[in-house]
Amino acid sequence: MRGPRKLGRGVAIVGAGSSRFGAFPDRASREIFVDAFVETLASVDKGIDPKEIEALYLGCFSGDLFEGQGHLAPIIADWIGLTPKPAVRVEGACGSSGLALRQGIMAIASGLYDLVLVGGVEKMTSLPTDRVTDALAAASDVIYEAAIGFTFPGVFAAIATAYLDRYGAAPEHLMRVAIKNHENAALNPKAHFSQTIRAIMEARREKTRQRGGAIPNWRDEMDFLRDPQANPVVAWPLRLFDCSPISDGATCLLICAEEIAREFTDDPIRVVASAHASGGALASWDGLTSIPAARIAAQQAYEMAGIGPKEVQLAEVHDCFTIAEIVALEDLGLVGPGRGAWATAEGVTARDGLVPVNTSGGLKAKGHPVGATGAAQVMEIWHQLRGQAGARQVGGRDLRLGLAHNIGGTGGTCVVHILERR
């Protein structure tokens, strides 16, 4: 039987950058991507001539639906001055730029290229919320899921309901995830939501006072999040603050063959694992409290890296909804089955906890421009391992290993990358 897969050639990340995540009604995706590209070039410690870049792998879920623009990769390449270099769009729903990174890694590991740009972009806010929901539902199984109204809030509400029932958790466990991730995002200048839940609560209270209304008697963030007027139900048990926002944004990563990495930086971050697994619609799962493709991709990544989950020091996981972070903790083996909800409540995943999770703010608060998300997760790990995450930097430990977990669709795609600083 064959042993664990290994990259045929070492790959390192030597630069990364992103646009601000948020709503930018007057800007096209190509313009937003330029912001990420310019920052990426500036992040390369020893400088880089863009003419050295040999190819672009671009993650984008559906510029076709969101802004009526298909065939985006060569357009982006033209706007950043890379034509006539090869430019490929990679689509894997919310896992698009995680897959794009994997394609770039394989291109370098094969020896085809030495230096490539990986990116992700999505311009989602051109559409109203109901049409965004429909566009995202195209990433589900349109016959067995979307056709019966199983849009993504409904899918993850079903997962949450099953999880609460099986393990005896409560909606308050989901709220703890939102509070934690907003606290991290408040320290992230690129985040869509740069406020803590408490700050949002106080702003709402002040707004009510200025209008002369009855001032809500919220004692703390949990009171605020339990209030159905402040935090209405979207699909029970998920409420508004359990859901990631509709965001515009772009992210870039500059990756190269390990043997040339020190031409660009004295502090390269190595890719020690890139794993990808696929899965079917929810009806094919053996239960709703775990995503099968995520478990498989995680196991393959650990085998490729030659480590176990207990060696992971921090992680960025796909928290499109708060329940998704809880399930991811278990699928990745960072905690045992049924322990994800309590691990968050007990502070295990806090920035100063045993295994910090979503120090960027996660999809929940940093934002979720779906095509850019996977690359953005890896960028956060890159910054953290290099000690360059600013106010949200994990302190008090020598960070060496970080993991990024990117899901597409209703679990049909999962990509897991493990990065190492030596």
For residue 309, which of 271, 342, 336, 278 has the smallest C-alpha distance?
336
The answer for residues whose C-beta is within 8 angstroms of residue 286's C-beta and 6 or more apart is 292
Question: At a CB cut-off of 8 Å and minimum separation 6, what does 285 contact?
Answer: 279, 291, 292, 411
Specify burial of residue 224 (Cβ count, 10 A radius: 0-12, 13-18, 19+).
Answer: buried
Give yes or no: 94 in active site.
yes
Classify the C-alpha dihedral 308-310-311-316 as positive or negative. Answer: positive
DSSP string, 267-320: S-EEEEEEEEEE---GGGSS-SSS-HHHHHHHHHHHHHHT--GGG--EEE---S
Active site residue 320: no
Please answer whether residues 225 and 178 qualify as being in contact, where contact means their C-beta atoms are separated by less than 8 angstroms. Answer: yes
Of 60, 94, 252, 256, the active-site residue reads 94
Catalytic residue among 368, 383, 405, 417: 368
Query: Which value, in Å, is the radius of gyration of the alpha carbons in the chain?
Result: 20
Amino acid at 135: A
Three-class DSSP category at 332: coil
Place of tokens 């905690």: 335
Phi first, then psi: what are they for 67, rounded to 5°?
-135, 10
Q: Assign 159 to helix, strand or coil.
A: helix
Catalytic residues: 94, 368
